Structure 1
Amino acid sequence: MGILSDLKSKVKRGVERTEHKSKQVLEISRLTILIRRKRETEQELYRRLGREVYTKWQRKETEALEWGQVEAPLKEVNQVRKKIAELEKELEKVKNSQVQYSEPKPLTAASTKNPLPSPDQDDASGQSARPETEEGVNANTAHPSDGMNGTVSQPKTFEAVPYSMNAVSKKEGEQQNHKLGGLDEGTAIFICPHCGDQVEEDTEICPHCRKNIYQDVWI
């Protein structure tokens, strides 16, 4: 379960990071377009103001040019420049934003059902089992003679049990494969970013939540 939880955590973080990056790119594009349009409006106001002054000058009506005819375009230019400054600050903030996600807790022996034994425990159990084994071997191989009846005790015989390494390895592989949800080692997993269920590699519409995997998540 620890391997599967770690895999799910990595997939979740990858989806969060990708989703944040895509939203960030879309927001940067939107702000960039707004700034460009505001600059175009500013340039148009400059042209309109210059055109008005030039027309009056060409007709030799410079003295008849009223301040109100110049003041209105100048105020519009000032408002546009303030809006551009606000958009540039917002754009810089979006560029510096980063995705926030929770880090997974590290796996420890205490968090599992079968805690891992310490090296000291292994050494102690090995030392306690070794004398019993040696004592049993000595008892079975000894041939003491009975002085009363002259009989000799016969050593005990042990029947060899066949042991197949291939069968054990296969069983362990099946257990590990079952823990991983039936997936072979190196197999890629594709997850729907909406509902989190597993989908096929070439799937566009999630069969579980019926949403577009590559488009709807960013809208």
Structure 2
Amino acid sequence: MQKILIIEDEPNIRELVLYNLKENGYEGIGAEDGLLGLQLAHEERPDLILLDIMLPGKNGYDICRELRAEGSKTPIIMLTAKNEEIDKVLGLEFGADDYISKPFGIRELMARIKAVLRRYESNSDKDSLMIGDLAIDIERHEVRLGGKVLDLTLKEFDLLKTLAENRGRVMTRDQLLDKVWGFEYIGETRTVDVHVRYLRKKLGDEDNEGKYIQTIRGMGYKMP
């Protein structure tokens, strides 16, 4: 289920949107101010953000700008009562993917959400993956954690990339062996366990219920 965060200080609008997100098969999360909204954007890792411009605590422009400066590629749709062209341009310049003015119809908003998510998925060439403060640059074969480059072996990188590309899905040891090492390694499951242990150490994530790699007992591993 795709997760959508709405950062909106008007409770009637926020609750109406959250209700309709649920009715349309999304998981909705609400924040009533900019500071909480930015916090939830980091903690919940939503698939899309609905972002009001005029917010208490921190405005939508600043939130959008900060997320993009951090490297976040999460799609953002700006929500605002303003309809001047300069406001729309500013939002897009700060990194928003779309813009919808209040008052808006729910059907139009849902159509915009579907279109942006579809466009985002089709345009994603998998050249980079972001999971919180973990950035996997596939083209450069580089992994950064909090801006610091990690020294990973080729197989550690491929293992991390495979888990990230299948985020939320449990990958069995045999599946990981097939994708990372090749079919000739099938059965050598200890190879996966050893590499996961080394990888967790480099990520500072050695807990079995860790932030980046979780052990699913009797099954395999997944990235939450």
TM-score, normalization: structure 1?
0.19
Q: Which has the larger radius of gyration?
A: 1
TM-score, normalization: structure 2?
0.19
Higher strand content, 1 or 2? 2
Higher helix content, 1 or 2? 1
